[in-house]
Chain A
Amino acid sequence: MIFGPLRSAVDFVGLVSLNLRDTLFYVIAGRAYGQPVRLTAVSQQVLLSGLQAIPIVILLCGIVGVMLAIQGMQTLSIFGAEQFINVGLAVSIPKEFSPLIVGIVVAGRSGSQITSRVGSMGLNGELDGLTVMGIAPHRFVDVPTLLGLLVSVPILVVIGDFAALGLAGLYASTALGMSFHAFMDQLIELISLADYLLGISKGVVFGVLIGGIALAFGRSVAGGADDLGRKTTSSVVVCIATIIAVDALYSILGQL
């Protein structure tokens, strides 16, 4: 009874891995085989999954930053240590919250968009149309999507860092009666380069995972509109669950 879903999960992981392998192949050797990766297509994907997501990333990361500052100060006030809120913000936002919020936003926006686009391309025969024109669908659809996410998600993490730290700093400095500039100077000094780079590296990993999972779900659409809707929903759910699981894995490995 358990073997059916387990086998499906293993099959799916295999499909994602094969997609990623083919993508890597076309990035490295595409031109030699007459299948060059077009920078225009990659930049379009950066625009779609990156630039257009900036407002919602600023909004959500900013709100989470303020919430962290409020909750943190309330907790620290028990010990009369509200002024140490900057330590908590400097550790948790760049390393943990910003990549996580960005990952969830991109999974919701781009994950669903990628799955529904690739799925409907398959249903409409567009992928077959590309094949018979001698255009590898992997190169035309998957590579720009994955490269676009690989570039845009880390950039969104950096933007999310600024929004979350900035708004958290604005709240905390006001609550502590400090100048915003002084608070931010302290906060920035407390951020370690290793934590900051770890957060950005999470952005890279999340980008590849979202792209790989969403593309694989899109490719597996068969039968019609009903399956397209089902796979799009599953894609978002699996993307978000995977991001949270991988983020937890980062934390566990960080303790070792």
Chain B
Amino acid sequence: MSLLRVDQLTGGYNGHVVIDGCSMQVDPGEVVVIMGGSGSGKSTFLKHLIGLKPPMSGSVELNSEDLYSGSMNDRYRRLSHIGVAFQMGALVSSLSIFDNVALPLRETTDLPEDVIEVMVRLKLEFVELLDKQDLLPSELSGGMLKRAAVARALARDPKLVFMDEPSAGLDPVVASALDDLILKIKDALGVSVVVVTHELESAFKIASRIVVLDRGFIIFDGSVDAIRASDNPRIQALINRTAEPMAFDAEEHYRRIMGLPEG
């Protein structure tokens, strides 16, 4: 049974389509990397997957339940079975790291406080932040902040975790350590992970499967070996980091520079 199934999802902002007819699924024990260049629609796609943005059409199923059907409270219940680590952490700035990790347990379960304390310490130990538990998010470095966000995402032992740009803004050593942490989550905890990133090196290291988004469409869904062997020019451009040559229209260029209306 798939943990996540996306069927013909179309979405965007204010009627403007950013994601067009995308379908994919995530099975247990997989690390699925969603890749794409800037403006490919990765962030919008992720918002649809994690319950922050109802799609224009199509469906998102978490554990065989339609995420967006029913009331907002039904959606909260379904979302309590997944974990999400945001790019900037999105930790509650007024709470310590310990309280941030404890937050989903305190607010969505009836577990006694002593059990919660043990569970939080386990997660903080897992991401090697136990000695930083009393600090505020603002007192952590970028890498630590991302690991704290991972600990909070894992707090309720979900089967599926989403991570938004885990390596962004980190030096190569810290980024590599985060990649190792993602593999550890998969191997040691048996958790499926969906990673949204544009870091090629990281994607090739951690992915069981790669999904490539381009201009709102999924243009590739397959293994690391398959993407390397792909002869699709847009995928090759992404892998080889070559910019797409742009057609130069002198008249259009002049109009843009002079601020004239489009012809």
Question: Which residues of chain A have C-beta atoms less than 8 A from B29's C-beta?
Answer: none
Stretch at the interface among B17-25, B90-98, B237-245: B90-98
Please give, as numbers and ranges, the residues of chain A lying within 8 Å of B80 by CB-CB distance.
34, 133-134
CA of A140 to CA of B106, assembled, Å: 11
Pick the contact of B90: A34, A38, A117, A124 (CB < 8 A): A124
Assuming the contacts A131-B76, A133-B103, A136-B76, asked whether A34 and B86 have C-beta atoms less than 8 A apart, the reply is: no
Chain B, residue nearest A22 (CB): B72
**Chain B hits for A134, CB < 8 A:** 76-81, 104, 108
- Chain A's closest residue to B51 (CB) is A132
Interface residues in B26-80 by Cβ distance below 8 A to A read 50-52, 72-73, 76-80
CB-defined contacts of B73 to chain A, threshold 8 Å: 33-35, 136
Complex-state Cα separation, A130 to B90, whole angstroms: 9
Q: Which of B78, B91, B107 contacts A140 (CB 8 A)?
A: B107
Which of the residues B50, B82, B91, B103 comes within 8 Å of A135, measured between beta carbons? B103
Which of B72, B78, B106 is in CB contact (< 8 Å) with A136?
A: B72
Q: State in angstroms the CA–CA spacing of A126 and B77 once bound together.
A: 18
Given A34-B77, A120-B93, A126-B92, residue A132 in contact with residue B108 (CB < 8 A): no
Cβ contact within 8 Å between A132 and B50? yes
Q: Could you tell me the distance between the alpha carbons of A135 and B108 in the complex, rounded to whole angstroms? A: 7
Tell whether B193 is near chain A: CB-to-CB under 8 Å.
no
Query: Does chain A have a CB within 8 A of B84?
Result: yes
In the complex, how many angstroms separate the beta carbon of B165 from the nearest chain A beta carbon? 13
A129 near B92 with CB under 8 A, answer yes
* Distance between Cα atoms of A128 and B79 in the complex (Å): 12
- Please report the C-alpha to C-alpha distance between residue A166 and residue B36 in the assembled complex, in whole angstroms: 70
CB distance from A140 to the nearest CB of B (A): 7
- For the complex, give the distance between the alpha carbons of A130 and B108 in Å: 11
The one of B52, B82, B94 that contacts A128, using a Cβ cutoff of 8 Å: B52
Report A-chain residues with C-beta under 8 Å of the C-beta of B78.
134
CB-based contact A126/B107 at 8 Å: no
Closest Cβ neighbor of A125 among chain B residues: B90
Closest chain-A Cβ to B42's Cβ sits at a distance in Å of 16
Q: Given contacts A120-B93, A126-B91, is CB(A133)–CB(B79) below 8 Å?
A: yes
Q: Is B88 an interface residue (CB 8 A)?
A: yes
Complex Cα gap A129–B77 (Å): 15
Closest to B74 in A: A33
Q: Which A109-141 residues have C-beta < 8 A from chain B? A: 117, 120-121, 124-126, 128-136, 140
Q: Is the CB of B76 within 8 A of A129?
A: no
Q: Distance (Å) between the CB of B59 and the closest chain A CB?
A: 18
Interface contact B108-A133, CB-CB below 8 Å? yes
A131 touches B51 (CB 8 A): yes
Central interface residue in B84, B92, B94, by most chain A CB within 10 Å: B92
- Interface contacts (Cβ under 8 Å), in number, total 70
Which of B76, B93, B103, B152 has the most CB atoms of chain A within a 10 A radius of its CB?
Answer: B76
Contact of A133 among B72, B88, B93, B104 (CB under 8 A): B104
A129-B90 contact, Cβ under 8 Å, with A136-B73, A136-B76:
yes
**C-alpha gap A133/B90 in the complex (Å):** 11
* A128-B52, A140-B107 known; A135-B76 Cβ under 8 A: yes
Given the interface pairs A132-B50, A136-B76, the reply to whether A124 lies near B88 with Cβ below 8 Å is yes
Residue with the highest number of chain A CB atoms closer than 10 Å, among B73, B78, B91, B94: B73
B88: chain A residues within 8 A (beta carbon)? 124-125
Q: Are A124 and B93 in contact (CB under 8 A)?
A: yes
* Complex contact B84–A132 (CB within 8 A): yes
> How far apart are the CA atoms of A140 and B92 in the complex, in Å?
12
Instruction: Point out the residues of chain B lying under 8 angstroms from A133, CB to CB.
Output: 79-80, 84, 103-104, 107-108, 152
Task: Please measure, in the bound complex, the distance between the C-alpha atom of A202 and the C-alpha atom of B78, giving whole angstroms.
Answer: 41
User: Given known contacts A33-B73, A34-B73, A35-B76, is B107 in contact with A135 (CB within 8 Å)?
Assistant: yes
CB distance from B71 to the nearest CB of A (A): 8
Complex contact B82–A132 (CB within 8 A): yes
Q: What is the minimal beta-carbon distance from A26 to any residue of chain B, in angstroms? A: 9
Cβ–Cβ contact A132 & B72, under 8 A: no
- Complex contact B86–A125 (CB within 8 A): yes
Q: How far is the CA of A136 from the CA of B52 in the complex (A)?
A: 12
B113-147 at interface with A (beta carbon < 8 Å): none
Which A residues between 125 and 159 are near B, CB-CB below 8 angstroms? 125-126, 128-136, 140
Q: B108's closest neighbor in chain A, by CB?
A: A134
Residues on B lying within 8 angstroms of A by beta carbon are 50-52, 72-73, 76-82, 84, 86, 88, 90-94, 103-104, 106-108, 152
Known contacts A33-B73, A125-B88, then 7 further A-B pairs from the complex at CB < 8 Å, ordered by chain A residue: A33-B76, A126-B93, A128-B90, A133-B84, A134-B80, A135-B107, A136-B73
